Amino acid sequence: MSTTSTTLTLDTSTSRANPTPAPMKRLTVPRIRQRKGGEPLVMLTAYTVRMAQIMDPHCDMLLVGDSLGQVIYGLPHTVAVTMEMMCAHGAAVVRGSYHAAVIVDMPFGSYEASPEQAFTNASRLLKETGAAAVKLEGGKVLAPTVEFLTSRGIPVMAHVGLTPQAVNILGGYGVRGKSDVEARSIVADAKAMADAGAFSIVIEGVMEPIAIEITKTVACPTIGIGASAQCDGQVLVAEDMLGLFERTPKFVKRYGAMSKVVADAVKDYAADVRARTFPTEDNLYRADEEK
């Protein structure tokens, strides 16, 4: 289905890319679901218009993750993330993209109390952002909520294994599924979410055999992060992948060293300012210049 979305034009007065309305085909939830067992799905996190613009042509999905609490706001974990944060950043990413399906995380405390609470908050996220779907963490206990949402027109991406919103219960971010009991529980969680209608499932931080078993068992695509290359797709926090942080988790491959690029550019700028070599004649306005 063709929907109105955005492409990029260059605003020559500011030299900044601005989205302008144009009819484009954006990936839909049914098309993503159809990719099960096919070409792997590419997903990255995005929190801002500009990053969405840059990544969108290469991604099938952009995830407005509650990881923005740590990446953008410097919070110690995702528990403190609010609906207002998710709505604001979700809308920005939708405005900056035209091809990828945008998925927005439901923050901690916005869906656990009841299916009705989840519907109220999920519908708000979709209305205020224009996103295609929401993502929520959890397993069997939340399957009725997923069924409630999907039966009422809200597509849901599930998230099993290491669930960061449960950090206070889990006691940290260690790999999950080392014991047979926990491994079976994670597989059961994924099956329950798939049976409840989730259109895809993120599998995070688990022993590889668990991710492979889930991928072979469920009918919907699986998206791995610290899981297995045999999942139906992969997701990473973009800032990790780009090398914007000094620490690189084991499950991340760094495709760039952007922290050094930024630091070097700022260092050069600071040196020019202190030496009064910036701005130069090329950067100044003169009365005899044409507007």
Is 105 annotated to bind a ligand? Reply is: yes
Helix (H) or strand (E) holding 153: none
Which two tokens mark 186? 């994670």
Is 137 annotated to bind a ligand? Reply is: yes
> Is 84 among the residues known to form the active site?
no
Kindly give the pairing relationship between strand 3-11 and strand 16-24: antiparallel
Is residue 223 within 8 A of residue 232, CB to CB? The reply is yes
Exposure string of 32-45, with b = 16+ CB inside 10 Å and e = fewer, is beebbeeebbbbbb
* Sign of CA pseudo-dihedral 201, 203, 208, 209: negative
Exposure string of 226-246, with b = 16+ CB inside 10 Å and e = fewer, is bbbeebbbbbbbbbbbbbbbe
Is 182 annotated to bind a ligand? Reply is: no
Is 112 annotated to bind a ligand? Reply is: no
Q: How would you classify residue 37: left for phi > 0, otherwise alpha for psi between -120 and 50, otherwise beta?
A: left
Is 135 annotated to bind a ligand? Reply is: yes
Cα–Cα distance, 210 to 185 (Å, whole number): 10
| Of 84, 128, 147, 204, catalytic | 204
Closest CA to 101 of 65, 64, 135, 131: 131
Count CA within 13 A, CB hemisphere, residue 145. 26
Whether the bond between 279 and the residue before it is cis, its omega within 30 degrees of 0, is: yes
Backbone angles phi, psi at 11, to 5 degrees: -80, 105
Residue with tokens 């910036």: 278
Residues annotated within the binding site are 66-67, 105, 135, 137
Residues annotated within the binding site for Mg(2+) are 66, 105, 137
Residues annotated within the binding site for 3-methyl-2-oxobutanoate are 66-67, 105, 135
Point out the residues that are catalytic: 204
